[in-house]
Amino acid sequence: MNLLPVLLVAGLLTFATRLSFIVLIGRVETPPLFVRALRFVPAAVLSALILPELIVRGGELRPDFHNPRLIAGVLAAVVAYFTRNVLATIAAGMAALWILQLLLRV
């Protein structure tokens, strides 16, 4: 895939979203359902990206304890819950992955 046009379109759409109401003000109102729905977007999109990344290895579902990425991911989620810190979460997850990869020899 040629990535540059995709980036340009993604950038233009982001800009258009940010500009939208600054230009339209007074002409349209934000529908309440849209405002309510927005709250769930990060949780939905990010979870949809995370789960396959932890559970699927080489095209197969691997929800078991020999899958280092699953264990490291769960540990990182616990760290994220208690610290609410991005750096601490990444550090814990990467350390766990490296140790598990050594132990499980994968």
Partner 1 sequence: MTPSPSSFTRRQEFWSGCRDELPILVGVAPFGMIYGLLALGAGLSPTLAQAMSAVVFAGSAQVVIAQLVHQGSPGLVVVVTVLVVNLRHALYSASVAPFLRRLSAPAKGVLAYLLTDEAYAVAITRYLRDGERVEVSPYRHFYFFGAGITLWACWQVTTAIGIYLGGRLPESWSLDFTLPLTFIALVVPALKDRASGAAALSAGLVALAALGLPYRLGLIAAALTGVAVGLGVEGRS
| Chosen residue from 57, 66, 71, 98 binding partner 1 by CB under 8 A | 98
Reading the block at residue 23, the tokens are 């230009």
DSSP assignment, residue 64? S
Q: Counting contacts by CB under 8 A, is residue 32 touching partner 1?
A: no
Q: Which helix (H) or strand (E) holds 60?
A: strand 60-61
Using the minimum distance from each CB to partner 1, give the nearer residue, 65 or 90. 90
Asked if 63 and 70 touch (Cβ cutoff 8 Å), the reply is: yes
The alpha carbons of the chain give a radius of gyration, in whole angstroms, of: 20
Q: Counting contacts by CB under 8 A, is residue 105 touching partner 1?
A: no
Using the minimum distance from each CB to partner 1, give the nearer residue, 65 or 98. 98
Q: Counting contacts by CB under 8 A, is residue 101 touching partner 1?
A: yes
Q: Counting contacts by CB under 8 A, is residue 51 touching partner 1?
A: yes
**Contact partners, residue 56, CB within 8 Å, separation at least 6:** 62
What ranges in 25-67 are assigned the alpha helix state H? Answer: 32-38, 41-55
Residues that bind partner 1 (CB under 8 A): 1, 3-11, 13-15, 17-26, 30, 33, 35-56, 61, 69, 72-73, 76-77, 80-81, 84-87, 89-90, 93-94, 97-98, 101
